[in-house]
Structure 1
């Protein structure tokens, strides 16, 4: 009897902790804005900074109105090219496309042989799966 009373007391003490567990799910759905963004403002691009990429200023839609966000420097990523965010027409309105880093594409010089692929004189061929591993 004493063992079952102890187990019951432990179960009752742990019940509030189990009952308070929560699961949170965030779903980010791009929203459509009915009003077109204003024309971009002119911002002079500052002199280049080694190891940084200039992110141009953009209109951001906040609290039912557009607000200008000035451009800024962002650290560069080796072998990637920065693609700035932009507004695009969509479903009768405007949708914001987030900025992203895209892998830099380049063509091997003619006659150059790469260790991980074949070069046929006109095109460089990377073996399947090797580009994702950063080998081509």
Structure 2
């Protein structure tokens, strides 16, 4: 148990020395990660021609605990009745919050995996 605590302390100290801190996410906004360092600008990528029955999921940066890592865009099989929301980084008070992408059935902008009311009848 002591070894685990020491390892965690050393890891946290190394993150802070890099100028980045991963902060626990609040349950309210459901971000995956909060980082103090802004993500790099998105990379330009070639989007292949449209494919019937598929949706283009654009490339994006994710935080791996130490740095940003680029995930290239790809086609995903479309889901009938759902809208795909791409992952995004939002800046709030000098911190960058990663909002996971996903499939949204009621088109309210909240992926169903994180939506308390995924079939909200009062959506706009």
TM-score range, shorter chain: 0.5 to 0.7
- Counterpart Cα distance in 2 of 1:101 and 1:54: 13
Question: Matches of residues 1-136 of structure 1 in structure 2 within 5 Å?
Answer: 29=25, 30=31, 31-103=33-105
- Counterpart Cα distance in 1 of 2:46 and 2:82: 24
C-alpha displacement at 1:103, in angstroms? 3.0
C-alpha displacement at 1:92, in angstroms? 2.5
Show structure 2 runs of 5+ residues with no match: 1-23, 26-30, 108-118
In terms of Rg, which structure is larger? 1
State the TM-score, normalizing by the size of structure 1: 0.52
- The ranges of structure 1 where at least 4 consecutive aligned residues each deviate by more than 6 angstroms after the TM superposition are none
Show structure 1 runs of 5+ residues with no match: 1-27, 106-130
State the TM-score, normalizing by the size of structure 2: 0.57
- Counterpart Cα distance in 2 of 1:34 and 1:96: 11
CA deviations 1:9-64 (Å, max 9, x no partner) are xxxxxxxxxxxxxxxxxxx8443100000000011211111111111000111131
Structure scoring higher RCO (CA < 8 A, sep ≥ 6) equals: 2
- Counterpart Cα distance in 1 of 2:93 and 2:104: 26
